Amino acid sequence: LPPPPPRALPAPLARLDAWLNQVFGSRYNPAYQTGTLVVVLWIVLLLTGLWLLLYYRIGAPWDSVAGLTADPWLGNWVRGLHRYASDAAVVATLVHALRIFLQRRTWGPRTLAWISGLVLFSLVLVSGWTGFVMVWDSFGYWLAVEGARLIDLLPILSEPVRRGFVGDRPVASAFFFLNLFLHVAIPLGLGLVFWLHVSRLARPLLLPPRALGWGLVGALLLLAVAVPVAMAPEADPFRIPAAIPVDWFYAFWMPITAVLSPGASWALLLGLGSALLLVPRWTRPPTASRPAPSRVDTQLCTGCTQCSLDCPFEAITMVPRTDGRAELVARIDAARCVSCGICAGSCAPMGVGPPGRTGRDQLGEVRAAIAAGAVQDRLVAFACEHGAATVRPALESLGVTLIPVECVGNLHTSAIEFVVRAGARCAVALSCPPRDCWSREGPRWLVARIHAEREAELQPRVDRRRVRIAELPAFDAVSARALVAGLQQELARLEQPAAEPSIELENECEAPEDAEEVSR
Ligand code: HEM
Ligand code: SF4
Ligand code: SF4
């Protein structure tokens, strides 16, 4: 089969990840948690929004917000938290979408998540627009007029909306009511679209590790207290203020639409929207190089159900078997299968996996490496193609034999066993940080198979002192060298004469305290 297209982040961004890993540790690296951080921000927005709602008056919008802003105890910081959380939501959503795009997790069964993600982002922006208009200060007025200019091109209302803001009469309270209604309804509707967004994922991770979530809330709170949100002058159609305090996170589009006609603005919006909606189509690899969905070899399947439990995309169901060999047999739903290959590692009899990437195929590769003399007395690394395999030259220059796998979650434990029994000094699986796994749950299942006696587990007869799992993100050659140096030292101690047994025990590959936790 042709090799899959590169799906790692571009090197400079991957290096930024590596740096963030050093600062936060990979478990708390915010770049890996952008989706779940938006969920935290959404919860903060709902809670602070409920509080602000108690004080908002449709009949006196600016006065009510000004009163709240003047209250340093339960007004200003709540408003500041609401504002900064909404700004952070835009940033986090954009980073989340950009990472997904650059990792090419955009096409095939992921199309629904991509398109619903775009709807989510649009709703975030519209919701922000209504929020700023609600304040009815100079910025809110500018947003309202610019928005009305665009809406007036649509043939929906008999009277132009813009006419309501020219100042010949007070702005209708129905406008503020509608605005308030949308500002409450859209964030609640977001919940429904979000459900659709993650509906094709098994066990979606909705929240970041607690410390990271609270850390973000704490940082925003500090910002809200340290840099209090100020009150701009009230909207006044007859006075153009010298400076309007603009929130560019929600107004980034205004300098562009301001110089374009409404027609050209809509054309631009529709063009951009269509290009984004079509991303799943134009990022899909050509048929010849598109990874094929997984297949079940019904002769080998014993109906154990493990693959259907492990599939991160709910693409495997167990159906009744009619030939009397077992009660059940696995069936792949090709429309849901992203060809991640996790099921190949789940199946003890090696009866499932994408063509060319089953457990049997892995054993074939290992046998070839053994025959080529690249295993005995060597350090053998099974490296994720999305991550560690990108530093292949660095690893090989240190004498490591590298066997690439699509994801370490694909790795069949028999391949590890073969390598160890063929005399390798050590078999190390180099995984991506769990929360950045292209296949979502690869490192999690590998750890469980090696340490938690999960089905398709590493057999007790395998010398575990010669088995390791290590995290190594893409393009992180510095960590790769440090990792190999550390391993070499450990192995040297292990291989010292038997007079020092205590060292051997220390070197044994230990299970993480909580194998489940490793996946977060
Ligand atoms: C309010 C905004 C958003 C939130 C709260 C959000 C949150 C999430 C979460 C929690 C996941 C599941 C992660 C997992 O368990 O693996 C996810 C997955 C995903 N998101 Fe978003 N997201 C948002 C916007 C977007 C946008 C704007 C896009 C792209 C246009 C996008 C594309 C995706 C895709 C494609 C996946 C599936 C990844 C996979 O199958 O491996 N999301 N999102
Ligand atoms: S893991 Fe293998 S044996 Fe078990 S149900 Fe899946 S295909 Fe069948
Ligand atoms: S390759 Fe296997 S584990 Fe991955 S999505 Fe397809 S059926 Fe599920």
The ligand minimizing its distance to the Cα of 315 is 3
* pLDDT of the chain, 520 residues: tens digit per residue: 334 445 678 888 988 999 999 999 999 999 999 999 999 999 999 999 999 999 999 999 999 999 999 999 889 999 999 999 999 999 999 999 999 999 999 999 999 999 999 999 999 999 999 999 999 999 999 999 999 999 989 887 778 888 888 888 888 889 999 999 999 999 999 999 999 999 999 999 999 999 999 999 999 999 999 999 999 999 998 887 878 889 999 999 999 999 999 999 999 999 999 999 999 999 999 998 899 999 999 999 999 999 999 999 999 999 999 888 889 999 999 999 999 999 999 999 999 999 999 999 999 999 999 999 999 999 999 999 999 999 999 999 999 999 999 999 999 999 999 999 999 999 999 999 999 999 999 999 999 999 877 899 999 999 999 999 999 999 899 999 999 999 999 999 888 776 555 555 455 555 555 544 444 4
- Find the helix or strand (DSSP H, E) in which 413 lies: helix 413-421
User: Hey, which of 296, 298, 301, 318 would you mutate to test ligand 2's pocket, going by the most ligand atoms within 8 Å of its Cβ?
Assistant: 301
**Type of residue numbered 169:** R
In total, the chain counts a number of residues equal to: 520
373, two tokens: 């003399």
DSSP 447-485: HHHHHS--SSPPPTTS-GGGEEEEE--TT-HHHHHHHHH
Cβ pair 337, 328 in contact under 8 A = no
330 lines ligand 3 (CB under 6 A): no
CB atoms inside a 10 Å sphere around CB 334: 13
Read off the DSSP letter of residue 234: B
How far is the C-alpha of 313 from the C-alpha of 367, rounded, in Å? 31
332 lines ligand 3 (CB under 6 A): yes
Cβ pair 383, 403 in contact under 8 A = yes
Taking CA atoms, 197 is separated from 109, 120, 129, 194, 332, in Å, by 12, 9, 23, 5, 22
Residue 62: φ, ψ to 5° = -65, -45
Angle at 232 between CA 229 and CA 235, to 5 degrees: 140
How far is the C-alpha of 496 from the C-alpha of 517, rounded, in Å? 34
Cβ pair 494, 27 in contact under 8 A = no
370, two tokens: 């053994």
With tokens 């499932």, the residue in question is 352
**Type of residue numbered 213:** G
Q: What is the pTM of this model?
A: 0.91
Instruction: Please give all residues whose beta carbon lies within 6 A of any atom in ligand 1, as ranges.
Output: 35-36, 38-39, 93, 96-97, 100, 105, 110, 113-114, 117-118, 120-121, 124, 194, 197-198, 201, 204-206, 440
